[in-house]
């Protein structure tokens, strides 16, 4: 029986490839081939895609250390979290991080590293792919491009930079709409190999995809819909306005000024087209993700130098005001079902009862850069999978509260 099923699968794959070759524009469907050969995206995808290097500075920043591992392990024991509609207590930290496929867990408080551990054969030198954490770096780059005069403002229509989208209603979409995931551009999840998730992840020509296959279906600004065409369009705007590759601009504006400890890479769609995977593709060490979090904790200031405007950090991470009651009703994310959860310029956030708020960059399989200004804390968690944890920021919210 198993052999028959295997033969049937092979026949279906061959039929699918044959069908693709009969299409007049079959080359645009090569993302399907990647989807079949590579399967579901995973933590090792940085080894599959071509990439550009992001070089570190000659003099890297060195963190101060005040390790309190036993203290943190004790705090973690009583942390609660959810999985599959059940509630659990974290318990033994080492065992928990091991069975949840965690690769790194770092805590910085008061600008000092108080906890830094690696698990499952990972170390400080190991590369972690970002998945959608990359979107928060894209947000940084847009703010920097505005600050440096490459982009006039977030209110500009995107057609100022992408005229190919003119006369299709896209003139009503602003850069801010893209940052907020509220453009009204069609995005359909699922559908196996034929949905927008697969297209925007595996397409070997992401520029063409973003310009030629986007369609406006709703009025901009009226509803939140998580949409991977948004960072792609922002990437095109950045390329055209700065006349630099995305990786080069990130290296110039963040990686070197902050003094990242290691060089990084940004996966690209293909060697031929060389467009950074804006939605997911930064590959770096966890400790450098922590440096990015520390920069935002300090409102863009790095050791006395303002790397990015403090107002941009606030605007990017603080809850949007005066949204209508149905703004988040079109998303399936449970995160927005509670009053405190929100999304701003490619950062997510928790609004606290006392008026303070935490914010975080979040990626698939529980990659998180968590920032709690009230607690003066940055927490980084990376992992191969989410490891039977519904939502890692839930754990980090409770932990950061205990660290106040």
| Domain identity same for 33 and 51 | no
Q: What is the pLDDT of residues 266-290, one digit of tens each?
A: 999 999 999 999 999 999 999 999 9
- What is residue 401's predicted lDDT score, i.e. its pLDDT? 96
Are residues 186 and 327 both part of a single domain? yes
Is 10 among the domain residues? yes
Where residue 332 sits, what CATH number does that domain have?
3.40.710.10
Q: What per-residue confidence (pLDDT) applies to 27?
A: 40
Query: Residue 174: inside a domain, yes or no?
Result: yes
Share of the chain above pLDDT 90, in %: 80
Within 10 angstroms of residue 91's Cβ, the number of other Cβ atoms is: 12
User: pLDDT at position 16, please?
Assistant: 55
Report the alpha-carbon distance of residue 22 to residue 126 in Å, rounded.
43
pLDDT at 25: 42
Phi, psi of 128 (to 5 degrees): -120, 130
Instruction: Return mean pLDDT, the chain.
Output: 92
Q: CB within 8 A of 294, min separation 6: which ones?
A: 108, 111, 302, 378
Each residue's pLDDT tens digit, 111-149: 999 999 999 999 999 999 999 999 999 999 999 999 999
Q: Is 93 contained in some domain? A: no
Question: Does residue 91 lie in a domain region?
Answer: no
Residues 238 and 386 in one domain: yes
In the predicted model, is pLDDT for residue 26 greater than 50? no
pLDDT confidence band for 392 (50 / 70 / 90): very high
> CB under 8 Å to 153, separation ≥6 — which residues?
146, 175
Q: Is residue 214 part of a domain?
A: yes
Share of the chain above pLDDT 70, in %: 92
Q: Is residue 202 part of a domain?
A: yes
Identify whether residues 18 and 122 lie together within a single domain. Answer: no
When divided into structural domains, the chain yields a total of 2
Angle at the Cα of 242 from the Cα atoms of 281 and 216, rounded to 5 degrees: 65
At residue 3, the 3 state secondary structure works out as helix
Q: Are 220 and 228 a contacting pair, CB within 8 Å?
A: no
Structural domain span for residue 374: 45-65+99-402
- The reply to whether 303 and 250 lie within a common domain is yes
Per-residue model confidence (pLDDT) at position 224: 95
pLDDT at 4 over 80: no
Cα 215–chain centre separation: 23
Within this chain, do residues 13 and 51 fall inside the same structural domain, yes or no?
no
Is 74 contained in some domain? no
* Same domain, residue pair 283 and 383: yes
Helix or strand holding residue 311 (H, E) = helix 310-317
- Co-location of 298 and 324 in the same domain: yes
Instruction: Look up tokens 């061959």; give the residue.
Output: 14
Task: Give a yes or no: residue 23 inside a domain.
Answer: yes
> Do residues 211 and 325 share a domain?
yes
Same domain? For 386 and 366 the reply is yes
181 and 165 in a common domain: yes
Residue 195's pLDDT is 86
The reply to whether 167 and 191 lie within a common domain is yes
The pLDDT, as a whole number, for residue 22 is 42
**Direct distance between the N- and C-terminal alpha carbons of the chain, in angstroms, rounded to an integer:** 59
On the question of pLDDT at 79 being above 60, the answer is: yes
For 265, the 3-state DSSP assignment is strand
Q: pLDDT value at position 333?
A: 76
pLDDT in tens, 318-368: 999 888 878 988 777 778 766 689 999 999 999 998 889 999 999 999 999
pLDDT (0 to 100) of residue 339: 64
pLDDT band at residue 184 using 50, 70 and 90 as cut-offs: very high
Secondary structure of residue 101 in the 3-state scheme:
coil
């Amino acid at each position: 029986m198993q052999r028959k099923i295997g033969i049937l699968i092979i026949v279906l794959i061959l039929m699918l490839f044959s069908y693709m070759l009969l299409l007049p524009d079959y080359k645009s469907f090569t993302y399907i081939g990647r989807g079949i050969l590579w399967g579901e995206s995973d933590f090792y995808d940085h080894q599959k895609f071509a990439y550009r290097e992001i070089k570190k500075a000659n003099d890297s920043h060195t963190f101060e250390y005040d390790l309190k591992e036993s203290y943190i392990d004790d705090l973690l024991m009583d942390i609660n979290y959810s999985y599959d509609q059940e509630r659990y207590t974290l318990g033994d930290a080492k065992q928990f991080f091991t069975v949840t496929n965690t690769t790194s867990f770092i805590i910085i408080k008061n600008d000092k590293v108080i906890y830094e551990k690696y698990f499952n054969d990972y170390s400080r030198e190991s590369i972690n792919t970002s998945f959608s954490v990359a979107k928060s770096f894209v947000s940084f780059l847009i703010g920097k491009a505005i600050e440096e005069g490459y982009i006039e403002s977030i209110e500009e229509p995107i057609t100022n930079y992408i005229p190919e989208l003119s006369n299709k209603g896209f003139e009503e979409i602003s850069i801010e709409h893209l940052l907020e995931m509220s453009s009204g551009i069609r995005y359909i999840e699922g559908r196996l190999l034929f949905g927008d998730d697969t297209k925007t992840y595996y397409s070997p020509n992401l520029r063409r995809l973003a310009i030629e296959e986007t369609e406006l279906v709703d009025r901009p600004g009226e509803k939140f819909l998580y949409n991977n065409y948004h960072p792609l369009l922002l990437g095109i705007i950045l390329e055209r306005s700065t006349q630099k590759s995305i990786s080069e601009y990130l290296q110039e504006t963040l990686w070197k000024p902050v003094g990242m400890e290691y060089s990084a890479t940004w996966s690209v769609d293909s060697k031929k087209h060389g467009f950074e995977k804006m939605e997911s593709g930064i590959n770096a060490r966890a400790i450098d993700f922590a440096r990015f979090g520390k920069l935002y904790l300090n409102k863009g200031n790095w050791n006395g130098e303002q790397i990015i405007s403090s107002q941009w950090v606030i605007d990017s991470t603080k809850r949007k005001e005066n949204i209508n009651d149905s703004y988040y009703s079109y998303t399936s994310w449970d995160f927005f079902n509670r009053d405190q959860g929100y999304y701003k310029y490619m950062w997510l956030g928790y609004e606290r009862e006392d008026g303070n708020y935490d914010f975080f960059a979040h990626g698939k399989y529980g990659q998180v850069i968590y920032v709690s200004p009230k607690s003066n804390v940055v927490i980084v968690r990376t992992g191969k999978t989410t490891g039977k944890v519904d939502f890692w920021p839930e754990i980090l919210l409770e932990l950061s509260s205990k660290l106040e």
